[in-house]
Chain A
């Protein structure tokens, strides 16, 4: 019997928690492949969860029981190099910046404000999380799930609550994929059919190249002056966008959008999985984080819609805004814009909200990064 134990030690050391986490890994892989829920992140994370939950795995750093020395595992090395240092999320921001077209914002700049209102879920959840026993840093990291922006969530959580990084990332990416299921019932609950039928004027304005080049530079300088601690987040996003818009770095822009995004996403997903060990993940905290993440998304939608309704109180008849546009002030791009457009078309097939929804959604992409930067700046002030 002893010889079998020596030959296959894993079979004798595996716990039910390990098996549960391997099940979680398989579930994430299933959701990624069968349901196409954020497959670029959920698949590497799912596979990584399997890798790190097999006892005696060489994928993460383990202490050799015979010598007492630490044997470094590749995933732990990736984590230390890319997540603990915040390099991977920042590289992803360059890629995202290169993918974003800010021109819809120039066509309807007012919709930028929905990108602020729809961050309400972050702060509502932050307060709710402190009620549930999390400290301020942990609560902020959980609240930022409501940014509906994976890299921002990872960036904030890796700085304030690295132990909760696994569940926060899983919640953030899962709910982003579930936007078409989460948002419509909340919007229907908050709006009347008459409001959902409001039509918006067509956007036909053209935007100059100079304006699009100046925008990322101006935003970076303003963000740097007002909140220097947000500069890494906003600056990298805007740097990526400048590469896209400058017109002389097309090759770099394409590389950032494709090769850089793909490579870093693989490393990001599998490195986060190094934190998904049974001892860190199989806890009541994880269930609470998953629940709070949903609250964050619901109250983001609430904040955006209610803000639009508030604005409508001051607008004359015929100039009113379709309040559904407030809901796509979240960062999940372009999914949220598509959801709102199709909701509008369900009510009235001649109501074309897509371009306005895209403007609001782009505002949400900026709003989520600003929210992340502000949280990074504010939380340390309250810990003194």
Chain B
């Protein structure tokens, strides 16, 4: 595998991985926030 191909592959997997991670964190935040809402949300 050429160096350029390897770099390209690392980049594609890397960017996909970051979006995947951030999406999982996003879902986690939504779930945590739903399970333990803040004061204002509880009053509503």
**Chain A 199-218 per-residue mask, 1 if CB under 8 angstroms from chain B, else 0:** 00000111110110011001
User: With a CB–CB cut-off of 8 A, which chain A residues contact B14?
Assistant: 122-123, 126, 371, 374-375, 378
Contact B22 A115 (CB under 8 A): yes
Q: Are A226 and B13 in contact (CB under 8 A)?
A: no
Contact B3–A205 (Cβ < 8 Å): no
Residues in B whose Cβ lies below 8 Å from that of A363: 22
Indicate whether A327 reaches chain B with its CB closer than 8 angstroms. Answer: no
B29 closest partner in A (C-beta): A109
Contact mask for chain B residues 6-38; partner A; CB cutoff 8 A; 1 contact, 0 none: 111111111101111111111011101101111
Range for the number of chain A residues in contact with chain B: 35 or more
In the complex, what residue of chain B is closest to A218 when comparing beta carbons?
B28
Interface 1/0 per residue, A171-186 and B, CB below 8 Å: 0000000000000000
Known pairs A106-B33, A116-B19, A131-B4; A124 contacts B11 (CB<8 A): yes
Q: How large is the interface on B (under 10, 10 to 19, 20 to 34, 35 or more residues)?
A: 35 or more
Q: Nearest A residue to B19 by beta-carbon distance?
A: A116
> With a CB–CB cut-off of 8 A, which chain B residues contact A109?
26, 29-30, 33
Task: Decide: A113 near B11, CB < 8 A? Known: A130-B4, A206-B39.
Answer: no
Determine chain A's interface SS by DSSP, over half rule: helix
Residue of B nearest to A379 (CB): B10
Is B4 in contact with A127, judged by CB distance below 8 angstroms?
yes
Select which of A106, A123, A208 is within 8 A of B29 by beta carbon.
A106
Q: How far is the CA of A226 from the CA of B13 in the complex (A)?
A: 14
> Which B residue sits closest to A207, measured CB to CB?
B38
B36→A211 contact, CB < 8 A: yes
| A206 closest partner in B (C-beta) | B38
Q: Which B residues lie within 8 Å of A218 (CB)?
A: 28, 32
A206 to B21, CA, bound (A): 25
B2 to chain A, nearest CB (A): 9
CB distance B28 to A123 under 8 Å?
A: no
Contact, CB under 8 Å: B33 / A127: no
Contact B26 A112 (CB under 8 A): yes
> Which of A16-24, A33-41, A135-143, A278-286 contacts its partner?
A135-143
CB–CB B3/A135 < 8 A: yes
Q: How far is the CB of A7 from chain B (nearest CB, A)?
A: 52
Contacts of A207 in B (CB 8 A): 33, 38
Question: Are B21's CB and A370's CB within 8 A?
Answer: yes
A222 contacts B by Cβ under 8 Å: yes
How far is the CB of A104 from the nearest CB of chain B, in Å? 11
B-side contacts of A124, CB under 8 Å: 11
In the complex, the answer to whether B32 meets A205 with C-beta atoms within 8 Å is: no
Given known A-B contacts A218-B32, A222-B28, A378 and B10 have beta carbons under 8 A apart:
yes
Q: How far is the CB of B39 from chain A (nearest CB, A)?
A: 5
CA–CA, A207 and B32, complex, Å:
10
Which of A112, A120, A205 makes the CB contact (< 8 A) with B22?
Answer: A112
Chain B residues, CB < 8 A from A222: 21, 24-25, 28
Whether A211 pairs with B32 at a CB distance below 8 angstroms is yes
- Cross-chain contact B18 with A371 (CB below 8 angstroms): yes
Which residues does A use to contact B, with CB under 8 Å? 105-106, 109-110, 112-113, 115-117, 119-120, 122-124, 126-127, 129-131, 135-136, 139-140, 204-208, 210-211, 214-215, 218-219, 222-223, 226-227, 363, 366-367, 370-371, 374-375, 378-379, 382
